[in-house]
Amino acid sequence: MGAAISLFLFGAITAALSLQLPLGAPRMPGTGFFPLALGLALMALAAGRGVQLYLARPKAAAPEAPATPAAPEGDGATRRVALFVAGMIAAVALLQPLGYVLSSVLLMLVLLQILGIRHWYASAAIALVSAAACYVVFVRWLKIPLPSGWLF
């Protein structure tokens, strides 16, 4: 249901924004014509899907229990995914101030920690080696200018 509602809203926003663009005439469709049509089509399909799910709901109401069994392992899972994403956001935000090597070492350390590598020296070694390897491959070998900070 959440999916249908989100997609409906996405379609609605697209359609609304398209209306602000020149639509043109059938003879010569303008910039906004194609996205408007797509937005409307998405709204229609999502609404249809939503109605379909809503109608199917009462029947499934009794054995709706499957929602709970997902929770026990789901809880830690959502937390881990959120931490993963947060770690990546932090690393990317620090990419330019700190430079590539330092921020990627940090990224690896954080991610390894989240996944539960117990010994800090193991994570540190893995993080250092992988960041250095990436640096060598991309900067030295492929000649791609990765952001450099105050260290590298």
Partner 1 sequence: MLESLQFLASGFAVALTPQNLMYCVIGAVVGTLVGVLPGLGPIAGIALLIPATFGLNATSALIMLSGIYYGAMYGGSTTSILMNVPGETASVITCIDGYQMAQQGRAGPALAIAAIGSFIAGTIAIFGLVLIAPPLARAALAFGPPEFASLMVFAFVVLSNVTGKSLVEALMMAIVGLILGTIGMDPVTGNERFTFDSAYMLGGVEFVAVAIGVFGLGEILVNAAKPQAQLEQRVLVPRLRDLYPTLDDLKRSIGAILRGTGIGFFTGLIPGPAPVIATYASYSVEKRLSQHPEEFGKGAIEGVAGPESANNAATQSAFIPLFVIGIPFGPVPAILLGALLIHGVTPGPLLISETPQLFWAVVASMYIGNFILLLLNLPFVPLFANILRVPKKVLLPLIILFCVTGMFSVNNSVLDIWMMLGFGVLGYVLRGWAYEGAPLLLGLVLGPKLEVAFRQSVMISHGDFGVFVERPISLVLLLLTLAFLLHPLIKRAWQALPPKASDGAAKGEPR
Q: Which residues lie near partner 1 (CB under 8 A)?
A: 2-3, 7, 10-11, 14, 17, 21-22, 25-35, 38-39, 41-42, 45-46, 48-49, 52-53, 56, 59-60, 66, 70, 73, 76-78, 80-81, 84-85, 88-89, 91-92, 95-96, 100, 104, 107-108, 111-112, 114-117, 126, 130-131, 134, 138, 142-147
Question: Tokens in use for 19?
Answer: 């209306």
By C-alpha distance, which of 123, 145, 122, 125 is closest to 135?
145
DSSP state at residue 61: S
Q: CB-wise, 115 or 151, nearer to partner 1? A: 115
CA torsion sign, 86 to 92 to 144 to 151?
negative
CA contacts within 13 A on the Cβ side of 151: 14
Q: Between 3 and 151, name the residue whose CB sits nearer to partner 1.
A: 3
Least separation in angstroms between residue 14's CB and partner 1 is 5
Helix, strand or coil, per DSSP, at residue 145: coil
- For partner 1, the closer CB: 102 or 107: 107
Taking the least distance from each CB to partner 1, the nearer of 20 and 150 is 20
DSSP 3-state of 25? strand
